[in-house]
Structure formats: structure tokens, C-alpha cells
Amino acid sequence: MDSKSQSPRNNYHVGNLSEQLLSAARTMLEAVGSTKLSVRALCSGLGVTPTAAYYHFSNRTDLLAQLATQGYLELAQVLDKEAAALPMEDKIRGFCLTYLNFARDNPALYQLMFGPELALENMPDTLREARQLAFSKLEEMVADLLKQPINTPDVRGAALASWSYIHGLTALLQHKVLQRPAEVSDQRIIERTLLGLEVLFKAHAESIRSM
């Protein structure tokens, strides 16, 4: 057998190499985490040279940014689908559960999306836009609930508060900081914590009125 046929192909246009690299990187990301994701190992598995990979991705950070962009686009899609399926009174709980399920199904991708590896000042426009798209789905849900235009300060503030809540709860559960009995479902923990926020906000409003 010709030895050349056994070596990685030094070809910049190996079919849909960009998609193959992203798919393989997604699998490796969930297996070993972003810090151990290796472009050289990805290329070896696909039978191409690193040079071929860098034709599609300028560097390792660019590959990670495209993975994170993919993650935000998928999150926006599932949130949008959830918004269309639920009655108004169930939208907050439904959004929170969808968000939590996305993070649980894609733990390493979720960590990459919100982690420190992709610095804000160097964030590509495509990643920034995908992140805003995901946030806009939450803004649309809040605007519907408040019956206000999406660009009002109340909607923006409430959407940011909502994202802060579910992101914080997700992080506590992912890192096992928040302990809970096995029989307590995600839906139940969301209902309990939302109720806790409701009690807190009522007490806050009453304290303001009594001043």
C-alpha cells in the first residue's frame, strides 16, 4: 500500500470539513472540556492536517467561538419553540425548564458559552449576535407578560433579572452547590425558587410602601 494513502490528507477542501470539524469538536468538547480540546487531535481523527483545519478556523479560539455561536443559536431555537407551545401562565416556568434542560444536555458547551475563554472584548460579531438572539427570546416572553413593547426599560430589566435567576440556578445545580433530594424534579425546584422570589418581592414592595 502506498504510504501516502496512510497519512493525513493535506487538502484544504475535504468535503464539508468545516462542518466535520465542528461536529467532532462538539463531541470532544463534551468528552474532555474546552481546555483539553485539541485541534491536532481533531484533525488526526478526521484524517486531515492541522493546516487544513486552519483554512476554516483561524485558530483554536475561533473554533471555540463558532461552537459557542452554535450553542446560542440552538438555545434561541429551543426557547422560541417553547414560547410558541406554552400558554401565557406557564411561560416563565417553561422557559426556565427549557433553559435548565439545555444546560444539562450540553454541559460543556454551556460552560463554554458563559465561561471566561471567550473574552468579551475579542468576541466575534457572529457570537455576539447569537448571544443577543438568545436573550431576545427571553425579552419577547417578558414583553408578552408585561404587555409592553420589547424595547422598554421595564422589559429589558425584567428580562435581565429573569436570565440572572435561571443562569444562577443552573450554575448551582450544575456544580452541585445546591443539594436536593433525588425525587425533587427540575420543574419542582423551579417552582419552589420562583415562589421564593415572589415572597421576597412582595416583602420588598410592602417595605417600600411603609416608608
pLDDT digit string, tens, across residues 65-108: 999 999 999 999 999 988 778 888 888 999 999 999 999 999 99
Q: What integer pLDDT is reported at residue 13 of this predicted model?
A: 47
Please determine, for residue 169, whether its predicted confidence score (pLDDT) is greater than 90: yes
Ordered alpha helix ranges (H), the chain = 17-32, 39-46, 50-56, 60-85, 91-105, 107-114, 125-146, 153-174, 186-209
Q: What integer pLDDT is reported at residue 117 of this predicted model?
A: 85
Q: How confident is the model at residue 15 (pLDDT cuts 50, 70, 90)?
A: low
d(CA 209, CA 211): 6
* Domain 61-209: CATH architecture, name and number where available: Orthogonal Bundle (1.10)
Candidate CATH numbers 1.20.120, 3.30.70, 1.10.10, 1.10.3470; the one for domain 7-57: 1.10.10
Q: How confident is the model at residue 3 (pLDDT cuts 50, 70, 90)?
A: very low
Q: What integer pLDDT is reported at residue 167 of this predicted model?
A: 96
Please determine, for residue 5, whether its predicted confidence score (pLDDT) is greater than 80: no
Q: Residue with C-alpha cell 417578558?
A: 142
In the chain, where does the domain assigned CATH 1.10.10 lie?
Answer: 7-57
In the chain, where does the domain assigned CATH 1.10.357.10 lie?
Answer: 61-209
Q: Residue with C-alpha cell 458547551?
A: 109
What b/e sequence results for 160-199 when a residue is b if at least 16 CB atoms lie within 10 Å of its CB, and e otherwise?
Answer: eebbebbeebbeebeeeeeeeeeeeebeebbeebbeeeee
Q: How confident is the model at residue 47 (pLDDT cuts 50, 70, 90)?
A: confident
How far does CA 11 lie from the centroid of its chain? 33
pTM (two decimals): 0.85
Distances from the Cα of 49 to the Cαs of 13, 73, 149, 157, 167, in angstroms?
11, 29, 51, 48, 38
